[in-house]
């Protein structure tokens, strides 16, 4: 018997295009966790993240006719969320300046191993990173952007993006090791 | 920062930070937003945006329709007026051009006479002749409109235009003579 695969996502998007609120709600529920977590890791503040998520879904649903289906709906929506998050950070007057002259030691990055740590801790550790390093780490490591793309989005050089990423990774490891030692100490 | 319990920390394997995060990317989405609260705001905004868009579209359509109607009415009246003045436009393009030139000359002379402020009824024969020529032009024009092109009538019409120009020119000369005579009288 021939199996017919129906892409539920496309059907929901088509229905949402026609103004079907149930389809919109299903898309919303499907993508909310990923979008919200992406956003909050970028902007940190809960209220800001909620505002950005609302704004992003509103612009996605009200401009859904403009979605051409070149990428998946999720990819399209994530781009909106990331753009809105970056705009929000920019409005907070955080400047992404070039830092080519700053030397960051990344010699131990390849061999430095970490214990298996709950994702909740990593999520919160990322949120505690400094703004610029956090944004670059999110975009590169979690959202799969290339340093070339990050440089374009943030208006910095590619080497600055790399430097910020190395810095973010180093800081993150330090935070995680501290957390681990703290837990270890508590459990002893 | 979340306080970790001992059983959460698993030291089952040692992994590099980057690959560990990449492999567990989905598990990193740990935070849950207020789904219902956010949805309420989204659907309310999407609804009002759609209403606004519909309103703008309907108003724009109404404005376009009104402009189109006005343009059609305007074009109809302009066309009708032009048609009233230009009788030979539907007969022959060369004759139509000739008619335009003659009518322009007639208008120029009439304007010059008007500017003098002279009472044309005081002129011996000019004004009556003009009225008579106008009657004939009207009569021939109506005939041409009703019965189609007639070479004799067309020639007569052109001839009438030329005669009208001659009469108007004569009237203008007469007015000038009269005015210069009046000036001389005053000087004496």
Which pLDDT belongs to residue A115?
A: 61
Higher pLDDT, B187 or A109: B187
Q: What is the pTM of this model?
A: 0.57
Question: What is the nearest CA distance from B68 to chain A, expressed in angstroms?
Answer: 29
Residue B10: pLDDT band with limits 50, 70, 90: very low
Mean pLDDT of the region B162-182: 85
CA–CA dist A133, A166 (Å, integer): 8
Question: What is the nearest CA distance from B52 to chain A, expressed in angstroms?
Answer: 11
Which pLDDT belongs to residue A181?
A: 74
CA–CA dist A141, B130 (Å, integer): 95
The answer to whether the Cβ–Cβ distance between B42 and A176 falls below 8 Å is no
Chain B hits for A58, CB-CB cut-off 8 Å, are 41-42, 45-46, 49
Helix, strand and coil percent figures for chain B, each rounded to 5: 80, 5, 15
Chain A hits for B24, CB-CB cut-off 8 Å, are 119
Tell whether A77 lies on the interface with B, counting CB pairs under 8 A. no
Question: What is the nearest CA distance from A102 to chain B, expressed in angstroms?
Answer: 23
Which pLDDT belongs to residue B185?
A: 72
> Tell me: the pLDDT tens digits for B36-53?
999 999 988 887 777 767
Which pLDDT belongs to residue A18?
A: 84
CA–CA dist A36, A46 (Å, integer): 9
Residues of chain A where predicted confidence (pLDDT) is lower than 70 = 1-6, 93-116, 183-188
Who among B9, B31, B42 is closest to A37 (CB)? Answer: B31
> Tell me: the pLDDT tens digits for B100-157?
889 888 999 888 888 888 877 777 667 778 888 888 888 888 888 888 788 888 888 8
Higher pLDDT, A36 or B92: A36
Q: Where are the alpha helices (DSSP H) in chain A?
A: 8-17, 21-43, 46-62, 73-91, 119-127, 131-137, 147-154, 158-187
3-class secondary structure, B168: helix
ipTM score above 0.90: no
Who among A32, A116, A124 is closest to B33 (CB)? Answer: A32
Which pLDDT belongs to residue A151?
A: 93
Who among A121, A169, A173 is closest to B2 (CB)? Answer: A121
Q: Which two tokens stand for residue A111?
A: 């061999």
CA–CA dist B174, B118 (Å, integer): 10
């Amino acid at each position: 018997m021939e199996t017919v695969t129906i892409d539920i996502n496309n059907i929901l998007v088509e229905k949402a295009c026609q103004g079907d609120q149930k389809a919109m709600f299903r898309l919303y529920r499907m993508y909310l966790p990923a979008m919200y977590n992406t956003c909050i890791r970028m902007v940190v503040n809960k209220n800001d993240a909620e505002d950005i998520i609302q704004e992003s879904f509103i612009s996605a649903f009200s401009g859904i006719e403009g979605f051409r289906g070149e990428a998946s709906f999720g990819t399209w929506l994530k781009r909106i969320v990331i753009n809105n998050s970056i705009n929000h950070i920019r409005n907070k007057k955080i400047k992404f300046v070039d830092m080519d002259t700053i030397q960051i030691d990344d010699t131990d990055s390849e061999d430095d191993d970490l214990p298996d740590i709950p994702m909740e801790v990593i999520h919160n550790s990322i949120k505690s990173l400094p703004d610029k390093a956090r944004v670059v780490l999110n975009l590169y490591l979690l959202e799969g952007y290339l340093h070339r793309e990050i440089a374009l989005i943030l208006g910095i050089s590619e080497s600055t993006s790399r430097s910020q990423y190395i810095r973010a990774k180093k800081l993150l490891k330090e935070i995680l090791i501290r957390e681990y030692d703290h837990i270890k100490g508590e459990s002893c | 920062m979340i306080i970790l319990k001992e059983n959460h920390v698993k030291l089952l394997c040692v992994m590099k930070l980057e690959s560990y995060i990449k492999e567990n990317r989905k598990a990193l989405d740990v935070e849950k937003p207020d789904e219902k609260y956010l949805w309420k705001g989204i659907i309310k905004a999407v609804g009002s945006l759609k209403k606004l868009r519909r309103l703008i579209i309907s108003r724009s359509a109404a404005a376009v329709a009104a402009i189109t109607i006005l343009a059609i009415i305007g074009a109809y009246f302009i066309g009708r007026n032009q048609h009233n003045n230009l009788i030979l436009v539907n007969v022959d393009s060369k004759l139509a051009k000739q008619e335009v030139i003659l009518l322009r000359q007639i208008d120029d002379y009439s304007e010059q006479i008007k500017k003098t402020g002279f009472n044309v009824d005081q002129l011996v024969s000019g004004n009556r002749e003009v009225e008579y020529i106008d009657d004939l032009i009207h009569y021939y024009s109506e005939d041409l409109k009703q019965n189609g092109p007639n070479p004799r009538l067309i020639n007569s019409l052109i001839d009438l235009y030329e005669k009208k120009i001659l009469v108007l020119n004569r009237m203008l000369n007469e007015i000038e003579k009269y005015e210069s005579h009046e000036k001389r009288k005053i000087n004496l």
